[in-house]
Amino acid sequence: MTPAYSSPPDPMAFKLQVWEIVKQIPVGKVATYGQIAALIPPPPGMTENDYRAFSPRWVGGAMASCPEGVPWQRVVNAQGKISLRGGGESRQRELLEAEGVFFDERGRIDLKRFGWAGPSNPAK
């Protein structure tokens, strides 16, 4: 049975890593929660499989509490959609569209076109 990890062992350290990565996403590009999580190594003692299962949710938690200066709007789910967050969806879409990101008729972003390739010097 896989243990449940509701948060990383050091939540603040994890959030700081997430925010530093998100700050690198250029205007007009997006990254997914899982993509960002994959750039951060698993905490000591956690298996790679457990980390892959829980870390995208942890990234979501970090994005829900990010400080000013972090381009939160550039993080979307693996389907290229905006994740629901209590009313901020329309604002996120407005910000992305202002950066030149287009949505299809189903509210998805083409990740091949607008997806970020990642940092030139990954943290991992």
| Segment (H or E) for 15 | helix 11-22
- Give the pair of three-digit tokens for residue 98: 């202002």
Determine the topology of domain 11-114 in CATH. Answer: Arc Repressor Mutant, subunit A (1.10.10)
123 burial type by CB count under 10 A (0-12 exposed, 13-18 middle, 19+ buried): exposed
Residue spans of the domains in the chain: they are 11-114
pLDDT surpassing 90 at residue 36: yes
pTM (predicted TM-score):
0.89
pLDDT in tens, 73-114: 999 999 999 987 666 678 999 999 999 999 999 999 999 999
- Give the pair of three-digit tokens for residue 34: 């899982």
123 or 3, higher pLDDT? 3
